[in-house]
Structure 1
Amino acid sequence: MAGESTERAPALKEIFNRERLAHIARETAGVWPAFDRKRFMKLATEGPDDLGIMQRMRLVATSLHETFPEDFAKAVPILEKLAPRIGHAFTAISLSEYVALYGQQHFDRSLDALKLLTRFGSSEFAIRHFLVADFERTIFVMRGWADDDNEHVRRLASEGSRPRLPWSFQLKNLIADPSPTGPILDALKADPSLYVRKSVANHLNDIGKDHPDMLVERVSNWERSDKHTAWIVRHALRTLIKKGDPLALALIGTTGRAEVKVLDFSVDPKKINLGDRITTRAKLVSASKTAQRLVVDYAVHYAKKNGLSRKVFKLKEIDLAPKATVDLAISQTVRDFTTRKHNAGFHRVELLVNGAVLAESGFDLRIGDSRTR
C-alpha cells in the first residue's frame, strides 16, 4: 500500500553507471597519477547486468584493488584523498568496502580509515566485518566514536553496530545479547543531530524485535524530559507500540485501553486496480469521562500466494477530550515498490487504537487480467 515508486529501484541500481565509474576513474587519477584508468573501467564494467546495488558497490572496490598498490598501507592514503572528491555518499561507500575486504590484517590503520571515510560515505557496512573478526577490540573503538565531535562518526558507532542493519548481514552475537552496545546508546541518547538520533532509534528498535523487555527497561531509565531523548524513545518503541505493548504505550503517555466507540471505519473504493488510490476513514467518539492519549494505527493483511501477511501502519496520535469525536482519514496509492509486490485478492484492513483491533474493513485488488474474489 504505502510505498515508493517502482521507478526508484532501477535508478538506485544505476548509481554505478558508466558515467559515474568514469568520474571515479578521473578523480582517482587526480590523487594518484599512476592509476590505470582504462583497466579500472574494464574491470568495473565487466559484471553482469543483473548485479544488485551492493554487488556493484563491491565490484568497484575489487576493481580499485586490482589497480592499486598491493601494499595496503600505500593504498589507504589514496582512498582517503579520493573520498572527498567522489561527491556522492553511496558511491563513496565502495571505499570503505575496500578497507573491509583488504584491511583485516591492518586493524588500527583500517579503523582509522573507516572513521575518516564515513564522513563522505557511511562505513556502516564495512565496520561489521571487523566486528565479526575481532568483536571486543572493534566495539571498544566504536564506544569511543560515540563521543566524537563529528556526527557522521557518532552515527557510525550506532548504525554500524545495529544487530539487524538492513542491506547487511546480522550480528548474531548482538541479537543474542545486545548489552555490549549499551554504552554507545547511552552516550547518544540526547544527541543534537537528527541523523544520529534516527540511528539510535533504529538500533533500539532492532533490539526490541528480540528483547522487548530489555528495550523498555533501557529507555524507561532515560531522562525523557530532554526533547532529543523523548524523540528517540518514541521512535525506538514504534514496533512495540504497533503491537499494543502496554509498557511501551505507557512510556509515550497513552492512557491504557482506549475507551472509545467506532462510529465509522471504511476503505473506499471497495474494488481497485493496482495503481489506484484508496482512502481509509475512521470516526471515533470518546466513551471516557477523562481525556485520553490515543495511538491510532491500521493494519493491512496483504494477500499472498500462500496466505496473508499483516503489516501495521501509523495513522495518528491524538488527545481525545471526554465525549469528543474525531474524524481521521488517510489516502494512498496501492502500487508495487522495492520491498513489496502485491497479489490480487481481498485485503483486510483493521483499525487499531492503543494496539487493540476495534473495527475491520477492506478492499479487493485486481492486477492485470486477474479477477478479485
Structure 2
Amino acid sequence: MAEPFKHLINAGLVQKAGEQLHAAWRGFDRATFTQLATTGLDALELKARARHVAAALQATLPDDFDAACGVLERSLAPPVAPDAGIVAPDRGDAPGLAGWIVWPMTEWVAAHGLAEPERALQALHAMTQRFTAEWALRPFIVQHPALAWATLARWCSDESAHVRRLVSEGSRPRLPWGLRLQSLVDDPGPTLPLLARLQDDDSDYVRRSVANHLNDIAKDHPAVVADWLDQHLPSAPPTRRAMLRHASRTLIKQGDARVLAAWGLGAALKGSATLTVSPEHAVLGGDGVTLQVVLHATSRQPQVLEVDYAVHHVKAAGGATAKVFKGWRLTVAAGEQRTLIKRHALKPITTRRYHAGWHAVDLLVNGQVVAQAGFELRLD
C-alpha cells in the first residue's frame, strides 16, 4: 500500500528543520520548536500538518518579521531542478531545506506577512525555488492586488522556472488545496496578459501550469478559452500547440463546438457507431467493465475523431450525473471499420461515492452522442 500523503511532513523532517534553522540563527530554540511541531503531528492530515509546523515556527522565530524571514531564507538548500516539481525529496545530510518541509515556511509567511507584503513576497520568491509557494501567494493577491499583479508581471521574466511557474500556478482561479480566488473566477482578465507571456516559456514545467490555468478558466468562461484558441492556435509552434491542447481538455470532453472546431474536430461522424458494455452486471471493487466501440466510416475522406464516453453515475437521492472520461483520438480512413476496447475501473475513490443501480453510458464522437449502452452496478 502506498504511503499516506500526510507522512510527507513527518517528525524526521521537523528534526532536520530544527537543525538547519539553528545553523541559520544560533538563537533558534530547536528543542522547543521540535517539541511543539511534533506534538499531535501524527493525528493530522497533510495540510493541517503544514499549518501545525507553521505555528511552531511562529513560536520560535524572531518577533521581527524581516529578521524571521532572513532566518528561513538562510536555512534553505540550493534551488531544486524545475523538473522535480513540488515533490523534491528531502536531501538527507545535505545542508539546507527543500521539499515538503518548506510548505510550513510558506504557510508562516502567508499567515504573518500580510502587513509587510513586499518582504513577504521576497521570501516566497526564495521558497518557491525549493518547493512551491502557490498556496501562500493567494492571500497577497486578495489583500494587496496592485502589488501582487505588479510583482507577478515582473516575475514573468525571472531567471528561475519555479518563479515563472508561480506566476501562473499561484493565480489559478480554482487551485486545488488553495484559497479560491473568487474575483478571478468571476473575471479572469487580470491573469490573461501574464499567461500570454508565459505560454511559450522555455520550460515545460511552466507551460503545463499555463495549460492548467487556462483549463481552470474554461470551467467558468469557456468563451474566453475559445477566443484564446482563435488568437493563439493558428501558426502556433509545437510546444504551444501541445500546451493549448492540454488547456482544451475539459471543453473538448464537454463537446464545446468552438473548441472542437478550433482543433478540427467539429464535424459530426460520417458513418455509424455501436457501443457494447460488458458485463451487464458489475460489482464495485471488482474487475470493472469493458467498453467495446465499433466505428464504421462512410465518408470518402479521412476523419479526425475524438472518441470519449460519459458514465451517468447514480446519485443517492435518485437521478444521475454524467462524468466524461477520455477515450481515444484517432483518424479513420475512408470506409474504414475500427474496433476500440477500453477497460473502465469501478474502484472506490475519495472523490466519488458510488450508488447501486443502472449506469447509462454515452459514446461521444467529436462531442456528440452517437451510441448508448450501460451496466447495472451492485455494491457487494
Same fold (TM over 0.5): yes
Q: 1:321 to 1:305 in 2, by over 3 A?
A: same
- Distance in 1 of aligned mates of 2:118 and 2:39: 33
2:17 alignment counterpart: 24
Is 1:104 the counterpart of 2:114? The answer is: yes
Unaligned runs of at least 5 residues, structure 1:
1-6, 369-373
SS of the equivalent of 1:83 reads coil
How far does residue 340 in structure 1 lie from its aligned partner after superposition? 2.3
Select the residue among 161, 170, 185 that pairs with 2:180: 170
Select the residue among 168, 174, 198 that pairs with 2:208: 198
2:154 alignment counterpart: 144
One-letter identity of the residue aligned with 2:243: I
How far does residue 20 in structure 1 lie from its aligned partner after superposition? 2.7
Higher RCO (C-alpha under 8 Å, 6+ residues apart): 1
- Distance in 2 of aligned mates of 1:133 and 1:258: 50
SS of the equivalent of 2:124 reads helix
Q: State the TM-score, normalizing by the size of structure 1.
A: 0.91
Alignment deviations for residues 270-294 of structure 1 (CA, whole Å, 9 cap, x no partner): 2232222232221111122221111
Select the residue among 253, 257, 271 that pairs with 2:268: 257
Q: 1:267 to 1:175 in 2, by over 3 A?
A: same
- Distance in 2 of aligned mates of 1:20 and 1:366: 44
1:214 alignment counterpart: 224
1:342 alignment counterpart: 354
Q: 1:258 to 1:90 in 2, by over 3 A?
A: farther
Select the residue among 120, 125, 129 that pairs with 2:139: 129
- Distance in 2 of aligned mates of 1:157 and 1:313: 30
1:59 alignment counterpart: 52
2:27 alignment counterpart: 34
One-letter identity of the residue aligned with 1:124: E
2:36 alignment counterpart: 43
- Distance in 2 of aligned mates of 1:321 and 1:30: 67
- Distance in 2 of aligned mates of 1:268 and 1:30: 63
2:125 alignment counterpart: 115
1:234 alignment counterpart: 245
Select the residue among 307, 311, 316 that pairs with 1:296: 307
Q: 1:353 to 1:50 in 2, by over 3 A?
A: farther
Q: 1:270 to 1:62 in 2, by over 3 A?
A: same
Is 1:305 the counterpart of 2:324? The answer is: no
**Residue range with higher mean Cα deviation, 176-185 or 189-198:** 189-198
% same residue: 38
SS of the equivalent of 1:161 reads coil
1:316 alignment counterpart: 328
Q: Is the 8 A contact 1:197 1:232 kept in 2?
A: yes
Q: Is the 8 A contact 1:255 1:292 kept in 2?
A: no
Alignment deviations for residues 140-171 of structure 1 (CA, whole Å, 9 cap, x no partner): 11011112221111110001111111111211
How far does residue 50 in structure 1 lie from its aligned partner after superposition? 5.1
How far does residue 25 in structure 1 lie from its aligned partner after superposition? 2.2
2:339 alignment counterpart: 327
Is 1:160 the counterpart of 2:160? The answer is: no
- Distance in 1 of aligned mates of 2:353 and 2:178: 22
Q: What are the residue-to-residue correspondences of 1:352-371 with 2, within 5 Å?
A: 352-368=364-380
In the alignment of these two chains, the number of paired residues is 360
How far does residue 88 in structure 1 lie from its aligned partner after superposition? 5.1
How far does residue 312 in structure 1 lie from its aligned partner after superposition? 0.6
- Distance in 2 of aligned mates of 1:352 and 1:108: 50
2:66 alignment counterpart: 73
Q: Is the 8 A contact 1:292 1:319 kept in 2?
A: yes
**Residue range with higher mean Cα deviation, 325-334 or 206-215:** 325-334
- Distance in 2 of aligned mates of 1:87 and 1:347: 49
- Distance in 2 of aligned mates of 1:232 and 1:111: 28
Unaligned runs of at least 5 residues, structure 2:
78-94
How far does residue 342 in structure 1 lie from its aligned partner after superposition? 2.5
- Distance in 2 of aligned mates of 1:82 and 1:281: 56
- Distance in 2 of aligned mates of 1:343 and 1:86: 49
Q: 1:339 to 1:86 in 2, by over 3 A?
A: farther
Q: State the TM-score, normalizing by the size of structure 2.
A: 0.89
Q: 1:180 to 1:280 in 2, by over 3 A?
A: same
Q: 1:23 to 1:306 in 2, by over 3 A?
A: farther
SS of the equivalent of 1:126 reads coil
- Distance in 2 of aligned mates of 1:185 and 1:35: 41
Q: Is the 8 A contact 1:83 1:95 kept in 2?
A: no
How far does residue 106 in structure 1 lie from its aligned partner after superposition? 1.4
2:282 alignment counterpart: 272
SS of the equivalent of 1:191 reads coil
Alignment deviations for residues 182-211 of structure 1 (CA, whole Å, 9 cap, x no partner): 111100111222211111011111111111
- Distance in 1 of aligned mates of 2:356 and 2:327: 24
How far does residue 87 in structure 1 lie from its aligned partner after superposition? 5.4
Alignment deviations for residues 13-53 of structure 1 (CA, whole Å, 9 cap, x no partner): 22222233223223322333332222222322334765332
Alignment deviations for residues 115-161 of structure 1 (CA, whole Å, 9 cap, x no partner): 11101111101110100101121011101111222111111000111
Q: Is the 8 A contact 1:255 1:294 kept in 2?
A: no
